[in-house]
Chain A
Amino acid sequence: AQSVTQLGSHVSVSEGALVLLRCNYSSSVPPYLFWYVQYPNQGLQLLLKYTSAATLVKGINGFEAEFKKSETSFHLTKPSAHMSDAAEYFCAVSKDTGRRALTFGSGTRLQVQP
């Protein structure tokens, strides 16, 4: 069975500081990995996804993530936080078994301090 662990349910950074949100996955086969963002009272928006084409994945809004198989990690980073980045972030995994079911982590709420 596949699973996702997000370390830190809350992360607080100052505006302009580095954002690092951690995600570790457990999967018996090479997975597809995703990062989604959710703003209050909204659905999920895809930030980026890893599909084995490249280990460093660039997404929207300046976010990127690096797939590290040896560490089973897919951490999300952004060099400089902006106030508008305050939201909840979810890491998710799925398998290429003909199914689109996503397994989500528990989420990390990002606060950005002025």
Chain B
Amino acid sequence: KAGVTQTPRYLIKTRGQQVTLSCSPISGHRSVSWYQQTPGQGLQFLFEYFSETQRNKGNFPGRFSGRQFSNSRSEMNVSTLELGDSALYLCASSLNTRASGGDEQFFGPGTRLTVL
């Protein structure tokens, strides 16, 4: 079974632009979560989607948004990019339909975003 895939793997943008990142979960997984990883702030939760609904959101500005499609694929969008948005963005998918903090999350390889 294929793992979580994220595209693109690397991205370079300039300040003020917007960017869309894509995540395809493991087949059958309905929950997708997004995390931001930076050297300064570490790993931080962005948001979680389940059945096309945002179920939880981390402490990020409104420039960060996401959505989930009926096939569970998810995208996140960052508008008006800032230098501080440079990070590794990780997507994770979970199988269980019952919402549980104990569910194992399977992570993708991430998208490395560089903002110049």
Given A99-B48, A100-B56, A101-B48, A42 contacting B101 (CB threshold 8 A): no
In the bound complex, residues from chain B placing their C-beta under 8 Å from that of A45 are: 107
Number of interface residues of B (CB under 8 A): 27
Contact A98 B99 (CB under 8 A): yes
- Within B11-64, which residues are at the interface with A (CB < 8 Å)? 31, 33, 35, 42-45, 48, 55-56, 58
A80 → B minimal CB distance (Å): 26
Supply 10 A–B pairs (Cβ within 8 Å), ascending by A: A46-B104, A46-B106, A49-B104, A95-B101, A96-B100, A99-B55, A99-B99, A100-B101, A101-B48, A105-B42
Q: How large is the interface on A (under 10, 10 to 19, 20 to 34, 35 or more residues)?
A: 20 to 34
- Within A98-114, which residues are at the interface with B (CB < 8 Å)? 98-107
A46-B102 Cα distance, complex, nearest whole Å: 12
**Prevailing SS type, chain B contact patch:** strand
B106 to A, closest residue via Cβ: A46
**CB of A90 closer than 8 Å to a CB of B:** yes
A36-B94 Cα distance, complex, nearest whole Å: 15
B4 to A, closest residue via Cβ: A43
**CB of A73 closer than 8 Å to a CB of B:** no
The 5 A-B pairs at the shortest CB distance, nearest first, are namely A94-B101, A43-B107, A104-B43, A98-B99, A44-B107
A98-B48 Cα distance, complex, nearest whole Å: 11
Q: Which of B103, B104, B110 has a CB less than 8 Å from the CB of A43?
A: B110
A95-B48 Cα distance, complex, nearest whole Å: 14
B115 → A minimal CB distance (Å): 19
A103-B104 Cα distance, complex, nearest whole Å: 14
Contact with A along B86-104 (1 / 0, CB 8 A): 0000101010000111111
In the bound complex, residues from chain A placing their C-beta under 8 Å from that of B58 are: 101
